[in-house]
Amino acid sequence: MRNIAVWICSALALLLLPKPCLSQQAITIKAGTKIIDYFPLRERYRYPSFIDGIAVFTGGTYTESRFNYNILYGAMEFIQKGDTLSIANADKIKMVILETDTFYFDKGYLEVIFSDRRLKLALKQYVKLVDTKKMGAYGMTSSTGSISSYNSISSVAGYYKLTVSDDIVVRKEKEYYLYTTENGFQPFRKNNLLQSFPGKENEIKQYLKQYKVDYSKESDLLDLMKFLVNI
C-alpha cells in the first residue's frame, strides 16, 4: 500500500512539472494552417505590452513612441494612432532604447544583455525556417532537407497570417553576439573571440579550456564577459 502511495505521489509530481515551451523546439506547421496560430501572443513579443522608448537613427535624429520587439517577425513594432506598425528602413536605425534595455540594429535587432565601455554581449531572437515537407503521392510528405539559405522567415507580417500550402518546420532561435569597438558585432564564436583580443589569445584559451564555455548558454557567456573585461 505504501509503495502505491509513493508511486502516486511521484506521478503527481511529474504532472506538476512545468511543460517545455513549444517555441523552444522545432514546430511543424501543417499544410492548411497559419504560422501565427502556432505562436501565442505572449511568445511573439519580447515584452508583455508595448512600452515607451526612443528609436535613434544613424543620422542622429530620433523619434519617441511605444515599442515592442516582435520575435516572430524579427521586427521592432510601434503604436501609431492605435495601429501596430513595423519600423520601415530598419537599416537606418542605430538603436532602440526601451526603458533599461537597448537594441542595436545589425542585420537584425540585437538586445544588449551585458555592456562595458568597450565590450557588449547581445542576443538576437527570431524564428527560423528549417525545413519544408512537400506533399507527395498518396498524401505522404517528404522533407526537402535543411534550408540553410534562410536566415529567418520573411519579415512581411502578412506572410504569417497566410495558410501554408506545404508542411514546414520552424524553430525559435537564440544567437549571441560579441561587440568590440574595433570589430563591431560578430557572432560569438571562438575564432571571432580570439581575433578580437590580439595578444591575449593564450589567456583566453586557458579560460576556455578550464571552463568549457558553451556559446549557446547565456550564463557561460556572461561569466566569460566578466573575465574579458579584466584582461
Q: What is the pLDDT of residues 161-213, one digit of tens each?
A: 778 888 999 999 999 999 999 999 999 999 999 999 999 999 999 999 999 99
Tell me the helix, strand and coil percentages in the chain, rounded to 5: 30, 40, 30
Task: Tell me the pLDDT of the chain averaged across its residues.
Answer: 82
CA atoms within 13 A on the CB side of 206: 7
How far, in Å, CA of 151 to CA of 31, rounded? 22
| Distances 81 to 67, 78, 88, 99 between C-alpha atoms, Å | 13, 10, 17, 21
Integer distance in angstroms from the first to the last C-alpha of the chain? Answer: 62
Of 38-42, 45-49, 103-107, 131-135, the range with the lowest mean pLDDT is 131-135
How far, in Å, CA of 99 to CA of 53, rounded? 6
pLDDT for 73 equals 87
What are the pLDDT digits (tens) for 61-117? 999 999 999 999 899 999 988 888 888 888 899 999 999 999 999 999 999 999 998
Please compute the mean of the pLDDT values over residues 135-144 and round it to a whole number. 47
Which amino acid is residue 50, in one-letter code? F
What are the pLDDT digits (tens) for 200-210? 999 999 999 99
Question: Could you tell me if 170 and 131 are in contact, meaning their C-beta atoms sit under 8 angstroms apart?
Answer: no
